[in-house]
Chain A
Amino acid sequence: MSDDLAQRLQAYVAQRLPDAENPRVVALERIHGGASRETYRFRLSLGEGAEQRERPLILRRDPPGSCIETDRRNEFEAYRAFADESLGVPVPEMLWLEEDERWLGHPFFVMQEITGYEASPVAISQPPYAEYAEAYGREKYEILGRIARAEPRGIGLLAHFAAPAPGDCWQRELAHWEEVLDEDEPGPQPIIRAAIRWLRAHPPPPPLRVGVVHGDYRTGNFLYDRDGGIHGILDWEMAHLGDPLEDLAWGFSPLFDFQGSGLAGGLLEREAALRIWQESSGLDVDRDALQWWEVFTAVKGQAIWLSSGREFLEGKNPDPILAIASLSMVDKQDRAALVALGRAS
């Protein structure tokens, strides 16, 4: 299967690079990473003999079903928007987006592979990385602040992303994830439904700025070195324009503190994270609005866990991580919702 895919990908690369000498797809292999799309690693070899050079690349191809129904173009454009290094948001370079299914059977895109770094949300809390947890945390929230500071028009995202009016940010996101729950919940969800009613009854103030929201900014979605440095922000598949507090709240979810440390994302005291983010973004955090987005995080999280389980059950995506996440997260997410609502400690 991989041989056939490699040949088809090679044919695609050849037409993309008509002047390239002997382009070849080498060592194509499927890897785990981002359950919503099939991910492959390969090397693009160009030239011959002493002139031969290789570049590590990643292919992300749409599967028949996915964890999150997202627009691949959004993901591609979000990555591309932050390619300018002066923005201070490290991302892999995006090469090609292809929506014509004749090439690989499904739409796909190709991007640079940033090699030599770790991404695991578990390894980061273990040697040799653990001693740099605070440094990772500081950089994580500095980068998030830079994402919030980025001007969507200036980085070309207004051509691809709908910009909600400031007062509509919360309604648009809540309506979207409520719809996912309506479609995918396997049974009644009394806690999450109560959370949704609470969210509608206590709308947050409009954001100070409608900015870029990564959509899944958490420990596990960035590449880190052994010295406290971050070298790539990944998994932009839920990126959109909205209230920057949405990302801040998402990363504060206790479900992404994988070791139960009580720290934001298992890395940093929450207040320190807020302080760093405020300095970096130039935005003040309204505590009531942050609470609103933390309750929203529980709703969105539950929608994702439940729809992941459903996609596995329906055979749309056979990746066991979908079923594992669904089975292990739903009750924890309910509890996190109760905490965010002030109904548990």
Chain B
Amino acid sequence: MSLDAGRMLGRLAESLLTGRAFDLAVPYQQQSALGFGMLLAQIRGQLEGEAAILAEENQAMRAFLKREAAGIGDGELRQRVEAGADGGLGSLRVPDLRAANDALRRLLIDLHVYAESRPAERDLEERIWQQLLATTERRLSG
């Protein structure tokens, strides 16, 4: 394994924020360089936790969909939810985790629409909101 790419990104951000940006004479360019330094620092922070957050979120969503699948009255939707909940951890590459996350979030939207359209599914709707809140809190604290 080569050197830690995240640390390199952090070093690059630090270099811009504490030195190189101030070498630029034009104020607009200086502010832009500082902006890029902040962006790099932000990206570093996100990259380090992204795989873990997505893997955890995907796992939680699959578990949720698995729990709810049996109670879904719409056969076509139930089949899709069951299939979506069935995946394992799979690849840990961020693009793969993101693709899986998109598919799961799409399923969650479909399930939410289904629950909203049926007065008898108010409890399910409530659980979906709780799931969405938990996901948001996880992302914000990650």
Residues of A within 8 A of B (CB): 29-32, 187-191, 193-194, 197, 319-321, 323-324, 327-328, 331-332, 334-335, 338, 343-344
* Residue contact B133 to A344, C-beta cutoff 8 Å: yes
The answer to whether B42 and A319 have CB atoms under 8 Å apart is no
Interface centre among B26, B27, B101, B136 (most CB of A within 10 A): B136
When distances are taken between beta carbons in the complex, the residues of chain B under 8 Å from A190 are 105, 108-109, 112, 132
Can you list 21 pairs linking A and B with CB atoms under 8 Å apart?
A29-B28, A30-B26, A31-B28, A187-B101, A188-B102, A188-B106, A188-B108, A189-B105, A190-B105, A190-B112, A194-B112, A194-B116, A319-B32, A320-B32, A320-B35, A324-B38, A327-B39, A327-B46, A331-B136, A334-B136, A343-B129
Residues of B88-142 whose CB lies within 8 A of A = 98, 101-102, 105-106, 108-109, 112-113, 116, 129, 132-133, 136-137, 139-140
Q: Which of B52-70 contact A (CB under 8 A)?
A: none
Set of chain B residues within 8 Å of A335, measured between Cβ atoms? 136-137, 140
Q: Given A31-B28, A335-B136, 11 other A-B contacts at CB below 8 A?
A: A29-B26, A30-B26, A32-B32, A187-B101, A188-B102, A190-B108, A193-B109, A327-B39, A338-B132, A338-B133, A344-B136
In the assembled complex, the Cα of A279 lies from the Cα of B121 at a distance in Å of 44
A84 to chain B, nearest CB (A): 34
Alpha-carbon distance between A189 and B116 when the two chains are bound, in angstroms: 17
Known: A187-B98, A187-B102, A197-B113. A323 touches B140 (CB 8 A): no
Given A335-B140, A343-B129, residue A320 in contact with residue B38 (CB < 8 A) = yes
Q: Are B101 and A324 in contact (CB under 8 A)?
A: no
Q: Is B36 an interface residue (CB 8 A)?
A: yes
Against A, the Cβ 8 Å flags (1 = close, 0 = not) of B45-87 are 0100000000000000000000000000000000000000000
Inter-chain contacts of A327 with B (CB < 8 A)? 39, 42-43, 46
Q: Which residues of B contact A (CB under 8 A)?
A: 26-28, 31-32, 35-36, 38-39, 42-43, 46, 98, 101-102, 105-106, 108-109, 112-113, 116, 129, 132-133, 136-137, 139-140
Provide the main secondary structure of the chain B interface: helix
Instruction: Compute how far the CA of A320 lies from the CA of B40 in the bound complex, rounded to whole angstroms.
Output: 10
Does B35 contact A324, Cβ atoms closer than 8 Å? Answer: yes
Collect the chain B residues with CB atoms within 8 Å of residue A344's CB.
133, 136
| Distance between A83 CB and nearest chain B CB, rounded to angstroms | 29
Which of B27, B42, B98, B108 makes the CB contact (< 8 A) with A328? B42
In-complex Cβ contact of B140 among A187, A189, A324, A332 (8 A): A332
Are B27 and A31 interface neighbours, CB within 8 A?
A: yes
**Among all A-B residue pairs, the 7 with the closest Cβ atoms:** A320-B35, A30-B28, A188-B105, A187-B102, A331-B139, A320-B39, A188-B106
> Nearest Cβ in chain A — how far from B96, in angstroms?
14
Q: Are B26 and A321 in contact (CB under 8 A)?
A: no
- A324 interface neighbour in B39, B116, B132, Cβ under 8 Å: B39
Which residues from chain B contact A328 at a C-beta distance below 8 Å? Answer: 42
CA distance A328 to B113 in the complex (A): 28
Q: Do A320 and B36 touch (CB < 8 A)?
A: yes
Q: How far is the CA of A267 from the CA of B36 in the complex (A)?
A: 30
